[in-house]
């Protein structure tokens, strides 16, 4: 019996570790290999504070969480400039350094001897010194940690995390501060792992560095992969399976040493097999339908009539964005040189020109995605030079991408929800301390998102995953996502190419009404009929600068331009 | 008349010769997503067939599926009457089919000479390769001048010439040419189109070319095809497309 | 000063060891884009294979050949059985990395089960001891340096001047283009896994002779190889050599002023700082 309860305690510990790790790799898409280091950090913090300092409960536990989160943030700060495989090396190095420190800083950590004699929890004079008495505490803490992770993952903030994972630049383009988001998720993940470490110290009354090696990180990873990255329940399931499964080996009479290694071989086998045969894990990523369905308001027909004002907020503020003498070089190649462009409120400006003329580069410069090598961008007369792309997006300058950059593994509704500005639930503080406000705001946001989607004619596909849309539907979703930002300056990079005539006839009035409501609209477009239909001003870009500016008919009548481009 | 019949018929009327490359009901895409639906086309011997279409229409996906990069989702491709659907790219190259991908299809860190040599990878006889290299240098003298320069430091136009030159190194009978004009200044586009004409007329290579530069590519094509959201909406002589209003209706 | 010279020499020998590991790991990484963590335990398997063969009385050079063969077979098998199915599916690169971590613990612990714990050493290895002024070294140290010079040089010539080698370089540059010009990229990947793994067997045998083999030796090897490649720049033999020596010297010269027990920590801290400051490597990517 004691033995079974011991296993239950271990399942609790690993559930915390696996769910916290899943936040990082499954939701934020940050592949950091230092989870065991944070686990150990929490264990040592608790052990040292109890044995050397003698702090009373619950201070060591809190201290562990805080130290874990703090060190996690410190690691994240430099590491976030690094992506993909390089993040793996850096966090791996960090993992090794931490273990080395634990092994060698004998004065603090006891070196290879570790720290023993960590006191048990005392509840009403009762010492929790057995699995039986410890299990309730482990369950309680594990449940609390799971709730914290769950709350974060299923909040609007969690949705933004997944959007960042799917496409970072698109997340930036809808105003997400991805650096801050990464720091927060690192802090949560590390903090929760450290809490598991604190429990470890209390349960085993001993802390030693060899419990927190890189192998430990891999076991935790195996649990996440088995359960399914992006699914927190899956992580609990994965932890339970991988803790219990090796215990079954104990019924086979094997020497202790070999039994232990067989457990690890089993972990390795499970990981490899899952990745080959069921890469999404046992449960796979959860589709977040239920919540949005429950809060759905009236959609469809009627909403479609008024959506624009609803989605765009009140009348636009009427903003002018201007590029003066813009220049951009990549290495020796000049993409843009001395480009002057001015986009006025209430107008639709067209940007035309051959492929490679610098149209998209111009968008990148206006929206801060690229910094010009010369000239400046002015929003209502003041320079935007210091603003980061996400700040510009929040300030009302939003853009779409020619290659769409949808959040492909998220639903249509989520794609639009992510883009809505000023969400209460994007603040982590609100997620935990103002749940009612988050709920209300979310319900309102779902209504707005549905209106925007009804407006572009995607209300039927609300819960479809974006990757399953047809090309035309994807285009419409791009437009919807851009509208949802509520920005005053809207830059569309080839929004209409590939749409059929009927759809175009539906989109044209949308564009016109955007301009009529005072928005500043600019589109890059190859189809001259569209340009004639929509634009009042056209810039003809070639070889990086504006060769001609004027009304569409004027430009098309210009014999030289006609020779170069139109014919 | 079904689309397949019309395509085949058009091929014969355009060139009056045998069909070298025939695509029937081809579907293609990436992941689970289908981008190209039921496309049929036929490329006649010594023909330049121009494929137009908006961004995202599936032109590149189609070329890749024909060439054996990425699995076709239904339909078939035949080359000289033999079925080559989904065959490995390496086999197609050996068999005389070449693909020049969009935008700088070169090995950027290697020299021009190394790039050309690799272009002839499937031909182990070095004497033949030297001969072919001379022909490429004749066509694009600038490559001879720059032979020891790293390809990544060439201008966009020179890289495009090198990419075409690499395809010529395996002496193809058919070239699938994906938007050779992309990112090039107008005078360079003309230069590249001239080269395409030379390859077609004097070397007798059939060319299936994707282009967005209608103005410069239409005149050299014997037939044109318009692709829209993954399906063929026009297949016939190029002349009617010269009227841009007509063309825009198709886009 | 004497101490400095000795440490400097130690740095060079360790550096050549890291460099050779980095060359093999880097070749696999640059060509296939797979972070092959199981490179570590395969390296360990090679050492164990040599030890096992030698313990059966096989002459040392033959035992070394056996180790090379074992490593090459395991490397190719890991590609064909695990990485290839994942790549064919078009999964993101991290999936192969995670799978390689799974393979890592699988192989490492299988070794432990088969051979048991403890350090495996070959008794009665004959090697010469040299003194060059104040610097002490053995013939194994010389072999470490020589193996890098010979194998690194041979690989360089192979990649630079043979048709097959050039095809590998082409694939490193642009895998898709390689396929387009008719290179069978699967065959190349198999070759690269064979060559890269075989290369790792040589330092494995030398370490076996010098320090013996343990099941945990693989992690240190693959981590150092990974760091060497990242510091030196991916896809470049020269980079791996420079990265390996930089690593060896930093680690060794750190001892000059720092207590022994902190030796590896200091190296890692330096590495960590280098990685954070210049994630693209000290020298950026260059060819060969």
Boundaries of every domain in chain C: 14-216
Tokens of C166: 């050039």
Which of A272-276, A434-438, C257-261 has the lowest average pLDDT? C257-261
How does pLDDT run across A162-214, given as a tens digit for each residue?
A: 999 999 999 999 999 999 999 999 999 999 999 999 999 999 999 999 999 99
Cβ atoms C66, C58 nearer than 8 A: yes
**Residue percentage of chain A with pLDDT more than 70:** 92
The CA distance from B180 to B168, in Å, is 15
Sign of CA dihedral A392, A394, A400, A404: positive
Average of per-residue pLDDT across A454-465: 88
Q: Which of B89, B108, B166 sits opposite C179 (nearest CB)?
A: B89
Q: In this predicted structure, what is the pLDDT of residue A478?
A: 92
Q: A residues 98-127 near C, CB within 8 Å?
A: 100-101, 103-104
B113 is written with which tokens? 């000479």
Q: Is residue B121 part of a domain?
A: yes
- Name every residue whose Cβ is closer than 8 Å to that of residue A477 and which is 6 or more positions away in sequence: A406, A412, A415, A416, A456, A458, A466, A469
Asked if C267 contacts C30 with a C-beta cutoff of 8 angstroms, the reply is no
pLDDT at A310: 40
Q: What is the mean pLDDT of residues A269-279?
A: 90
* Dihedral sign of CA atoms A122, A124, A125, A128 in order: negative
Question: Over the stretch B167-183, which tens digit does the pLDDT of each residue have?
Answer: 999 899 999 999 888 77
DSSP A371-401: --SEEEEEETTEE-TT--HHHHHHTTEEE--
Task: Say which of B183, B215, B229 has its CB closest to residue A472.
Answer: B229
Helix (H) or strand (E) holding A338: strand A333-343
- pLDDT on residue A292: 47
Least confident interval from A160-169, A454-463, C3-12, C251-260:
C251-260
Residue B143 lies in a domain: yes
Q: How confident is the model at residue A318 (pLDDT cuts 50, 70, 90)?
A: confident
Residue of B nearest to C163 (CA): B121
* Model confidence band, residue A315 (pLDDT cutoffs 50, 70, 90): low
How does DSSP classify residue A287?
Answer: P
CB-based burial label for C277 (10 Å; 0-12, 13-18, 19+): exposed
Containing structural domain, residue B245: 46-70+85-250
Average pLDDT of chain A to the nearest whole number: 87
CB contact under 8 A, C268 and A97: yes
Closest CB to C182 among B94, B105, B117:
B94
Reported as a pLDDT band with limits 50, 70 and 90, residue A287 is low
pLDDT category of residue A300 using cuts at 50, 70 and 90: very low
pLDDT of residue A308: 47
Structure confidence by residue, pLDDT tens digits, C19-29: 999 999 999 99
As a whole number of angstroms, the distance between CA A196 and CA C269 comes to: 26
Residue C222 pLDDT grade (very low, low, confident, very high; cuts 50, 70, 90): very high
Minimum CA–CA partner of B245 in chain A: A529
CATH number for the domain spanning B115: value is 3.40.50.300
| Cα B240 from chain centre | 22
Percent of chain A past pLDDT 90, that is, above it, reads 55
Taking the CA of residue B27 and the nearest CA in chain A, the distance in Å comes to 14
Average pLDDT, chain B: 85
Tens of pLDDT, residues C89-130: 878 888 899 999 999 999 999 999 999 888 998 887 778 888
pLDDT, greater one: C2 or A159: A159
How many structural domains comprise chain B? 1
Distances (CA, A) of C194 to A272, C106, C221: 21, 20, 18
Q: Which chain B residues touch C173 with a CB distance below 8 Å?
A: 107-110
**Please, which pLDDT band fits residue A564 given cuts at 50, 70 and 90?**
low
Confidence category of residue C284, pLDDT binned at 50, 70, 90: low
pLDDT digits (tens, 9 = 90+) for C188-206: 999 999 999 999 999 999 9
Q: pLDDT tens digit string along A79-129?
A: 777 766 778 888 888 898 899 899 888 888 888 888 988 888 888 778 888
For residue A527, which residues of chain B lie inside 8 Å, CB to CB? 54, 248, 251
Strands A206-207 and A115-116, sheet pairing:
antiparallel
Q: How far is CA A37 from CA A85, A165, A217, C186, C209, in A?
A: 19, 24, 8, 38, 33
User: Which pair of structure tokens corresponds to residue A536?
Assistant: 């009042």
pLDDT(C279) > 80 = no
Contact C112, A261 (CB under 8 A): yes
Distances (CA, A) of A351 to A346, A540, B247: 16, 6, 20
**Domains in chain A, CATH or no CATH each:** 2-209 (no CATH), 301-318+344-357+396-566 (3.40.50.300)
Per-residue pLDDT for B153 more than 90?
A: no
The model carries a pTM of: 0.87
- Dihedral over Cα of C198, C199, C203, C206: its sign: positive
In the structure encoding, which two tokens stand for residue A235, read together?
A: 């992580």
Kindly tell me the sign of the dihedral angle through the C-alpha atoms of C49, C52, C56, C60.
positive
Contact call for B69 and C169, based on CB within 8 A: no
- What integer pLDDT is reported at residue A304 of this predicted model? 39
CA distances A305 to A66, A454, A456, A482, B40, Å, are: 51, 9, 11, 19, 42
Question: Is C175 within 8 Å of chain B by CB?
Answer: no
**Does residue A459 contact residue A298 with C-beta atoms inside 8 Å?**
no
User: Are the CB atoms for C68 and C202 separated by under 8 Å?
Assistant: yes
Q: Measured between beta carbons, which residues in chain A are less than 8 angstroms from residue C276? A: 78-79, 81-82, 90
- Residue A293 has what pLDDT? 45
């Amino acid at each position: 019996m004691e033995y079974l309860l011991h296993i239950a305690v271990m399942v609790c510990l690993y559930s915390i570790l696996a769910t916290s790790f899943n936040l990082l790799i499954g939701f934020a898409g940050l592949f950091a290999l230092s989870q065991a280091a944070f686990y150990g950090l929490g264990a040592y913090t608790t052990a040292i504070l109890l044995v050397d300092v003698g702090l009373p409960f619950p201070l060591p536990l809190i201290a562990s969480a805080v130290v874990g989160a703090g060190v996690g943030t410190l690691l994240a700060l430099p590491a976030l400039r690094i992506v993909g495989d390089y993040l793996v090396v850096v966090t791996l190095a960090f993992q090794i350094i931490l273990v080395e420190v634990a092994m060698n800083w004998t004065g603090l950590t006891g070196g290879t001897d570790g720290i023993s004699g960590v006191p048990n929890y005392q509840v009403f004079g009762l010492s929790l010194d057995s699995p039986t008495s410890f299990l309730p505490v482990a369950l309680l803490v594990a449940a609390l940690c799971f709730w914290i992770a769950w709350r974060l993952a299923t909040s609007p903030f969690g949705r933004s995390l997944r959007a960042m994972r799917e496409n970072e630049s698109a997340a930036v383009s809808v105003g997400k501060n991805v650096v801050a988001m990464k720091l927060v998720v690192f802090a949560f993940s590390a903090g929760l792992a450290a809490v598991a470490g604190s429990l470890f110290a209390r349960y085993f009354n001993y802390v030693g560095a060899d419990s927190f090696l890189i192998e430990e990180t891999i076991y935790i990873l195996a649990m996440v992969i088995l359960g399914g990255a992006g699914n927190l329940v899956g992580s609990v399931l994965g932890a339970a399976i991988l803790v219990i499964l090796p215990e079954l080996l104990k019924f086979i009479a094997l020497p202790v040493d070999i039994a232990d290694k067989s457990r690890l071989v089993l972990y390795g086998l499970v990981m490899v097999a899952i990745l080959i045969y069921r890469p999404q894990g046992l449960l796979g990523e959860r589709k977040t339908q239920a919540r949005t369905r429950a809060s759905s308001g009236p959609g469809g027909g009627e909403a479609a009539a008024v959506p624009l004002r609803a989605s765009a907020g009140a009348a636009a503020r009427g903003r002018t964005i201007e590029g003066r003498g813009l220049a951009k070089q990549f290495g020796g190649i000049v993409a843009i040189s001395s480009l002057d462009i001015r986009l006025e409120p209430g107008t639709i400006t067209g940007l035309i020109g051959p492929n490679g003329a610098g149209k998209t580069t111009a968008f990148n410069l206006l929206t801060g995605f690229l910094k010009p090598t010369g000239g400046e961008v002015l929003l209502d007369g003041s320079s935007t030079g210091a603003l980061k792309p996400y700040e510009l997006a929040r300030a009302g300058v939003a853009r779409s991408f020619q290659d769409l950059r949808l959040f492909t593994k998220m639903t249509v509704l989520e794609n639009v929800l992510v883009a809505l500005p000023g969400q209460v639930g994007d603040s982590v503080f609100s997620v935990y301390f103002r749940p009612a406000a988050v709920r209300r705001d979310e319900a309102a946001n779902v209504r707005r998102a549905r209106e925007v989607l009804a407006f572009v004619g995607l209300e039927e596909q609300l819960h479809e995953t974006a990757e399953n849309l047809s090309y035309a539907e994807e285009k419409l979703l791009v437009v919807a996502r851009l509208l949802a930002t509520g920005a005053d300056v809207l830059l569309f990079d080839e929004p209409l190419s590939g749409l059929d005539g009927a759809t175009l006839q539906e989109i044209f009035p949308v564009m016109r009404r955007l301009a009529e409501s005072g928005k500043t609209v600019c589109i890059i477009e190859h189809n001259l009929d569209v340009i004639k239909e929509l634009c009042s001003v056209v810039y003809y870009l070639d070889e990086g600068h504006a060769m001609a500016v004027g009304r569409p008919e004027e430009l098309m009548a210009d014999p030289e331009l006609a020779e170069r481009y139109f014919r | 008349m079904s689309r397949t019949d019309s395509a085949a018929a058009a091929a014969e009327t355009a060139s009056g010769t045998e069909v070298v490359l025939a695509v029937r009901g081809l579907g293609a895409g990436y992941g689970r997503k289908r981008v190209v639906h039921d496309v049929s086309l036929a490329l006649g011997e010594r023909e330049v067939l121009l494929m137009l279409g908006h961004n995202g229409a599936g032109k590149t996906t189609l070329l890749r599926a024909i060439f054996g990069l990425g699995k076709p989702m239904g339909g078939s491709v035949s080359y000289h009457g033999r079925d080559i659907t989904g065959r490995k790219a390496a086999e197609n190259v050996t068999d005389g089919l070449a693909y020049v991908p969009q935008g700088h299809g070169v090995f950027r860190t290697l020299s021009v000479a190394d790039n050309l040599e690799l272009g002839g990878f499937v031909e182990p006889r070095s004497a033949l390769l030297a001969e072919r290299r001379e022909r490429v240098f004749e066509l694009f003298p600038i490559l001879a001048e720059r032979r020891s320069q790293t390809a990544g430091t060439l201008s966009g136009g020179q890289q495009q010439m090198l990419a075409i030159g690499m395809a010529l190194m395996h002496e193809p009978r058919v070239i699938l040419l994906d938007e050779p004009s992309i990112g090039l200044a107008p005078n360079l586009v003309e230069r590249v189109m001239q080269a395409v004409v030379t390859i077609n007329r004097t070397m007798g290579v059939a060319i299936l070319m994707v282009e967005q530069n209608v103005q410069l590519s239409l005149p050299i094509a014997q037939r044109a095809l318009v692709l829209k959201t993954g399906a063929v909406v026009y297949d016939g002589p190029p002349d009617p497309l010269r009227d841009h209003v007509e063309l825009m209706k198709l886009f | 000063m004497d101490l400095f010279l000795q440490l400097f020499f130690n740095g060079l020998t360790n550096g050549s060891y890291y460099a050779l590991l980095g060359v093999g790991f880097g070749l696999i990484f640059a060509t296939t884009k797979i972070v092959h963590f199981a490179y570590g335990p395969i390296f360990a398997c090679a050492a164990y294979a040599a030890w096992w063969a030698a313990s059966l009385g096989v002459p040392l050079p033959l035992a070394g050949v056996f180790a090379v063969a074992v490593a090459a077979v395991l490397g190719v098998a890991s590609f064909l059985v695990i990485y290839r199915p994942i790549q064919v599916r078009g999964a993101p690169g991290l999936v192969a990395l995670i799978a390689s971590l799974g393979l890592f613990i699988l192989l490492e612990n299988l070794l432990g089960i088969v051979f048991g714990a403890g350090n495996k050493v070959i008794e009665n290895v004959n090697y010469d001891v040299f003194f060059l002024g104040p610097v002490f070294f053995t013939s194994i140290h010389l072999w470490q340096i020589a193996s890098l010079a010979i194998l690194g040089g041979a690989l360089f010539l192979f990649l630079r001047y043979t048709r097959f080698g050039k095809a590998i370089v082409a694939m490193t540059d642009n895998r898709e283009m390689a396929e387009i010009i008719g290179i069978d990229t699967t065959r190349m990947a198999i070759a690269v896994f064979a060559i890269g793994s075989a290369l790792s067997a040589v330092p494995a045998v030398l370490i076996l002779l010098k320090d013996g083999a343990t099941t945990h030796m693989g992690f240190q090897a693959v981590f150092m190889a990974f760091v060497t490649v990242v510091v030196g720049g991916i896809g470049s033999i020269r980079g791996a050599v420079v990265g390996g020596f930089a690593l060896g010297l930093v680690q060794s010269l750190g001892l000059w002023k720092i207590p022994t027990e902190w030796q590896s920590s200091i190296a890692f801290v330096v590495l960590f700082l280098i990685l954070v400051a210049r994630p693209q490597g000290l020298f950026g990517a260059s060819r060969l």
